Chain A
Amino acid sequence: MVTNVLIVSTCSDPLSNLEFVKPLSALLERHGHVVKEIHYRDVNSQNLARADKILISGTSLKDFEYLKDIDRFEWILSTRVPILGICAGCHVLGVAMKETLEETLLIGKYLVKKTNAVKTARLPLRSSAFEAYFLTSRFVKHPKHFDTSATVNDMPVIIEHRTLPLVGCLFHPEVLNPDLIMTFIEQ
């Protein structure tokens, strides 16, 4: 089934868009889905109404403009469209839900381990452990509104909101785990 996917860019620099947004679009289009890319400052009710699924992209390691603009993401609280936040997108979901971000530094491949904490399984994980590519300097610490479905050294790296259809993924699944994105889109 063709899905209309809205990709919300968190990139303040257009050059980062090529690195963090275009690969997501290309992946989804290869699987026959319809993609609309939009910068977070331009999201409106029409875009949201047309979307079946929403991805919030990552951005460059030095880019934190999206955190200064967190008010622009208020729509996350009201939309019922399932959202997958990737890296910066995961930060956005956490901060929008009043969680705390803690500094860390993960660059490169790390072993991700599945937990048994999640019952809803909005992003079912087929493997109990797998490698993933990280590029982040923040993570959501001790989330109060999310369950942790995967960790790296006890740090939450996949979080699922307990009541809303929100999934945060701290790593970049488009690099080594594209099947995770397709599971989220097609389930």
Chain B
Amino acid sequence: MKLAVLFSGGKDSTLALFKASKVHEIGCLVSLCSQNEESYMFHVPNIHLTELQARAMELPLITVKTSGIKEEELKDLKAALLLAKKEHDIQGVVTGAVRSVYQAQRIQKICHQLDLWCFNPLWLLDQMKLLQEVLKYQFTVIISGVFSYPLDQSFLGRVIDEQIVKILGDFQSQYGVNPAGEGGELETTVLDAPMFKRKIVITDSVTKYAHHAGVYMIKSAELVEKW
């Protein structure tokens, strides 16, 4: 089956893509670029990097700008998936949904309307296990957004490694933080993964942080050969 992957460039959609690619052909990536920072569905820092990530994986990318207004953005998602169906002959869609019933049900409905299969390979996956899989498969993932105490500026731009996973696990026990950020506590950006034929190196970035929230914005980056 040929599939489109709803791709934000973060660890969840990239891990979902990785799992799907073991079973099916990936026809294209679909990224929705939300103009609304409050978007429930699609807002992520560094969404512009999906273009470079798609090139790194040598996969076609469909990028659609969306107003990000609640429910309106679903029309944009539907249009994007319809385009993927027409241009890449996809039969199904993969998402990185883990726990969000809000997201999952809306994507399921759109897939049903478009007669597409819908796959959520991370669905209900334990968040610590999700992070451990990211390490196991040797993804290079940085934290590109923090939005909850006790996550602070020091986490921005850091690579998720065993030490960070342990800290996030401790925060889960002490503060109830979702360690993989399923509650919106953190956002991530993937720089390298097994499907990447070249990896991403950041050449310029800026960190913004205030009132327990911040982002690590990648201003420029390039692809380099992998050893």
Contacts and interface: CB of A to CB of B under 8 A. Distances in A.
Nearest to B123: A19
A15 B105 contact: no
B126 interface: yes
A13 to B, nearest CB: 7
A62 interface: yes
A32 interface: no
Interface size class of A (residues with CB under 8 A): 20 to 34
B101 A133 contact: yes
B158 interface: no
B132 interface: no
Contacts of A61: 108, 111-112, 118
Interface size class of B (residues with CB under 8 A): 20 to 34
B101 A109 contact: yes
B123 A18 contact: yes
B121 A18 contact: yes
Interface in B121-150: 121-126
Contacts of B105: 107-109, 133
Contacts of A124: none
Nearest to B108: A107
B121 A19 contact: yes
A176 B100 CA distance: 11
A60 B119 contact: yes
B23 interface: yes
Given A109-B101, A109-B105, A133-B101, A19 B120 contact: yes
B119 A135 contact: no
A127 to B, nearest CB: 18
Given A16-B119, A26-B126, A105 B112 contact: yes
Contacts of B124: 22-23, 26, 174-175
A174 to B, nearest CB: 6
B122 to A, nearest CB: 8
Interface in A7-58: 13-16, 18-19, 22-23, 26
Interface string B73-100: 0000000000000000000101000000
28 contacts: A13-B117, A13-B119, A15-B23, A16-B119, A18-B19, A18-B120, A18-B121, A18-B123, A19-B119, A19-B120, A19-B121, A22-B125, A23-B123, A26-B125, A26-B126, A60-B118, A61-B108, A61-B112, A105-B112, A107-B108, A107-B112, A108-B108, A109-B101, A109-B105, A137-B112, A174-B124, A175-B101, A176-B101
A-B complex: 5 closest residue pairs judged by Cβ atoms? A108-B105, A23-B124, A18-B121, A19-B123, A15-B119
Given A22-B125, A133-B105, 16 more contacts: A13-B117, A14-B23, A15-B94, A15-B119, A19-B119, A19-B123, A23-B123, A60-B117, A60-B119, A61-B111, A61-B118, A62-B117, A107-B105, A108-B101, A137-B112, A176-B101
